Amino acid sequence: MTLNDRILGLYVLKEGIERTFLRRQYGESNGALFEPSIFQDISHPMELKSGDEMTGRQARRGLAKSIRNRDLQLRWQDASQYLDQDHFARFCAMEVFCWHWDGYYLNKNNYWLYVTQDTGEVRFIPDGMDQLFGRKDGPLQPRALGIVARKLNATPPGNEAYHKAMRHIMDDVLHNLALEQTIQQYYASSQPWLKAWNEEAADKQTQAMQKLIENLEGRIEFLRSALAEGGQ
């Protein structure tokens, strides 16, 4: 980035979570979009960004109530009224795969909620994903701080859905994404500019890229082994 002919460095442009994003992801954008405060779960007050607050609040309350059912089978069934459970299982599995330690699953933080207008389902949207793959050996299914993840993973169908989602990431998603090649491509495109601007910054990026690939490879190996052994 340059400003008034001054080079300010390399920046990442992050897409905002707003109506254009919602239309592309969910085919609609008129539902209720909420941004929680830091370290706040679904039952706490949230800032409404767009849509009808009352409808969204009712869905959040219904979900929070459903996951408190002591009967594990009924808990899973009740939650299905407010949550696309396969979608939520994929959300949880992806956060754990990336070891998004400051996200909803591991830290009840850095997430948004969207309550769809068509179905009234609560959708979790990850955010603040700037410190990923920091731990290769993070457990396959660590204890969740996010209450929805913790309560649904405690049910047999929820546990099964989570493991199915993680296997899908390992077997299908990674094959199609080609993550290492993508990292190398972005690295190669930015290195000439960085070297021309600041050799030290270019060297640091090289080290960071190598560490990221090392952690990514280690994470994949660890999770595949854990899945094969049926471990936690």
The four Cα atoms 42, 48, 51, 52 give a dihedral, to 10 degrees, of 70
- At residue 232, does pLDDT exceed 70? no
Residue 6 vs residue 19, higher pLDDT: 19
The average confidence (pLDDT) of the chain is 94
Amino acid 9: pLDDT? 78
Amino acid 2: pLDDT? 82
pLDDT category at 217 given cuts 50, 70, 90 is very high
With a CB cutoff of 8 Å and minimum separation 6, the contacts of 70 are: none
pTM (whole model) above 0.85? yes
Amino acid occupying residue 99: W
Question: What number is the average pLDDT over the span 164-178?
Answer: 90
Q: What is the CA radius of gyration of the chain?
A: 20
pLDDT per position as a tens digit, 86-121: 999 999 999 999 999 999 999 999 999 999 999 999
User: In this structure, what are the phi and psi dihedrals at residue 82, rounded to the nearest 5 degrees?
Assistant: -120, -5
- At residue 231, does pLDDT exceed 60? no
Are 54 and 144 contacting, i.e. CB atoms less than 8 angstroms apart? no
The angle formed by the CA atoms of residues 115, 123 and 231, to the nearest 5 degrees, is 155
Residue whose entry in the numeric block shows the structure tokens 């009840």: 108
Residue closest to 95 by CA, chosen among 108, 84, 85: 108
Categorise residue 108: left if φ over 0, alpha if ψ from -120 to 50, beta otherwise. Answer: left
